[in-house]
A = this chain, B = another copy of it.
Amino acid sequence: MDIKDIIKPENLVYKKTDHMTDKVLSYCPGCGHGTAHRILMEVIDEMGVRADTIGVAPVGCSVLAYDFMNIDMQGAAHGRAPAVATGIKRCWPDKFVFTYQGDGDLAAIGTAETIHACNRGENITILFINNGIYGMTGGQMAPTTLEGMRTTTSPYGRDLESMGNPIKITELIANLPGVHYVTRQAVHTPRYVRRTKKAIFKAFDIQKNKKGLSFVEIVSNCNSGWKMTPNQSNIWMEDNMFPYYPLGDIKVDGKIINE
């Protein structure tokens, strides 16, 4: 049977959503940012809420997110996306507002804004891409960098004594009463992509029902920063990141899940 017979509009199974623009993603080959972008846009597409959605891009590799997500967006200052989102949401309580932030952005310079938006229970969704490094600026140590991990500012490996502990900000904010849903996911295999998409769906649903803040962490690779090929980096991530940042729901319906 000829392939041409299969490739027909009526047989279409999967195609990039038109909520993504046609621009070439500025990400390195194999970087999880692209996948995360796409499934987020799929959710907005499938929920049919583009006209009611305002996204907030961070400063990080995804600083140009608005070049790729074909929705209304604002570029926030480094770390301040939750404050920007608060400003938007308070004026437009019926719109969907999300932030998309890296680990440096959310867990270093933006710590106060993150904690307080969560504590106020702003009815927004935070997407948190944790790749354990500052990708954008060339691979410096992030608050989430693992012990012993080499980065350009921890060239001999992160030393807990002098550089502090990799922070589990997600577990931390889960303790705040204003936070309704907290989960940690990944996008490096089809299975996890599907799960993460479901989590994002859930987060937007919570926002729709005005139940408070939802927080979706995506543990992701930064093959450039980690100095690996994409597939190597995904394996390394499973072996090293997931044990420290275990995947799964952390808080559901306002209640922390205790394993």
Contact = CB atoms under 8 A, between A and B. Distances in A.
A194 interface: no
Contacts of A91: none
A187 B115 CA distance: 29
A115 B119 CA distance: 14
Contacts of A143: 116, 119
Contacts of A175: 171-172, 175
A86 to B, nearest CB: 10
Interface residues of A, number: 21
Contacts of A177: 165
Interface string A80-123: 00000000000000000000000000001111100110011100
A139 interface: no
A108 B121 CA distance: 15
Interface string A156-190: 00000001110100011001111000000000000
Given A111-B112, A112-B112, A176 B171 contact: no
Contact of A119 (B116, B119, B164): B164
A105 B77 CA distance: 23
A179 to B, nearest CB: 10
A171 B143 CA distance: 20
Nearest to A179: B165
A134 to B, nearest CB: 15
Contacts of A167: 115, 119, 176
Contact of A116 (B121, B164, B171): B164
Contacts of A115: 111, 115, 167, 172
B176 A119 contact: no
A122 to B, nearest CB: 8
Contact of A165 (B109, B165, B172, B176): B176
A111 B167 CA distance: 15
A88 to B, nearest CB: 16
A109 B177 CA distance: 20
| 9 nearest A-B residue pairs (beta carbon) | A120-B164, A111-B112, A112-B112, A165-B177, A119-B167, A119-B164, A111-B115, A165-B178, A119-B165
25 contacts: A109-B112, A110-B112, A111-B111, A111-B112, A111-B115, A111-B116, A112-B112, A115-B115, A115-B172, A116-B143, A116-B164, A119-B143, A119-B165, A119-B167, A120-B163, A120-B164, A121-B165, A164-B178, A165-B176, A165-B177, A165-B178, A167-B176, A171-B175, A172-B172, A172-B176
